[in-house]
Amino acid sequence: MSNPESTPQAAAPSTSPPSHAGHTHTHTPLCRSCGAPAAAPAPAPWTGDSPPPAYRPIRMPAINAPTNTAAIVLSPVPQPLPVPPASPPFAFQAPAKRIASPDDIARFKDSTHGRHFLGFVALLSASVHGRKLSDPLPSPPSPAVSALLDLISALSAFVASTPPFPHSSRYGNPAFRLWHEKLADSVNDLIAPITATAASPSDLAGGELELAPYLLDSFGNGSRIDYGTGHETNFAAFLYCLARLGLITEPDYPAVVLRVFASYLDLMRTLQDTYLLEPAGSHGVWGLDDYHFLPFVFGAAQLIDHKYMKPKSIHNPDILENFSKEYMYLACVMYVKKVKKGPFAEHSPMLDDISAVPNWKKVNSGLLKMYKAEVLEKVPIMQHFLFGSLIKWED
């Protein structure tokens, strides 16, 4: 039997009407094998009413991708502000959550402590301009800074005594709950050496009632076994409360960032890796890091006016390898590259875009603006923020 698709046939005469002047004639496509009219008509040409489909990239925007980029860029750079000191007698109270809506965010943003908390973060950032982690401190660590370092060392020892359980899931090793219970059981004892460094320790009697909740929420959630920028912000709030009480002062700020916060970051990386903490409210591919924000702010400040390293230097593996122990920004990028696979521009497009900024001063100022907009002004993050007598909620 002959194959009709392979046997040439005589071309059938065209039945199309002859073309006339002023009429558009569309040719009927013919089969290349037999010359007969094809079953499907040719696609109509693109017109203004029916444009070609838009190019669709492989990486589509995430649901929580930043949508207010222009507003962030045009907003003013947060400026350093001194911490308003609290005066005795103190009326310590258990802090509580107060933010539940965008209106509450606006109220906090415009409040005295909303402005000064952001100014405190900016002041910490300014204190480490051009400083490496190993640089000598401009002044010896104060007793309160030494007590903070002892606190973090004690929490690191809890990790050594609380090994992870055999666990097959990607996130959430239940042993973290035991570690967090140890923190909760000893939190007052951990805070007491810090308050004991006050000029008049008796004035701070009962201060653990207000300080402890900030510290407890600085290392992740023991029930959900997660950690995110909200927990990091609570650690900054804990430091802000110590500054309000006069336990740390502006001369301490380089040590607070280069020693205390750097040690806190090392501890958090250990907790994240040991107990597989789940990112809390992560921006995923559209965030700087699944867990942190502030080390990028402080790390960019460290690199301001560096003679050789530019923002694009993060793409140089040798620079990351040799200088990540001196600069928090490089350490964070190195960690991201270790835990995420694939092209850097795909798994970390925000960091990749920042690497095109011409200098670190612009990176630092942009990150401060982004911290204000993407952390301090986001209800899902700030709904967990705590308010008491040291960070007051203004009705």
Ordered by where they begin, the domains of the chain are: 98-387 (1.20.120.1150)
Give the pLDDT score at 38: 56
DSSP 60-115: PPPTT--S-HHHHHHSPPPPP-PPPPP-SSP-----EE---SHHHHHHHHHSHHHH
For 278-326, how does the pLDDT look when each residue is reduced to its tens digit (9 = 90+)? 998 655 555 688 899 999 999 999 999 999 999 999 999 999 999 999 9
Single out the residue of 248, 244, 251, 250 nearest to residue 85, CA to CA: 244
What's this model's pTM, rounded to 2 decimal places?
0.82
Give the pLDDT score at 76: 87
Give the pLDDT score at 358: 95
Q: Determine phi and psi for 278, rounding to 5 degrees.
A: -80, 135
Residues of the chain with pLDDT under 50: 1-25, 48, 50, 52-64
Q: Determine phi and psi for 50, rounding to 5 degrees.
A: -135, 75
Mean of the per-residue pLDDT values of the chain: 86
Detail the DSSP E strand segments found in 167-273.
226-227
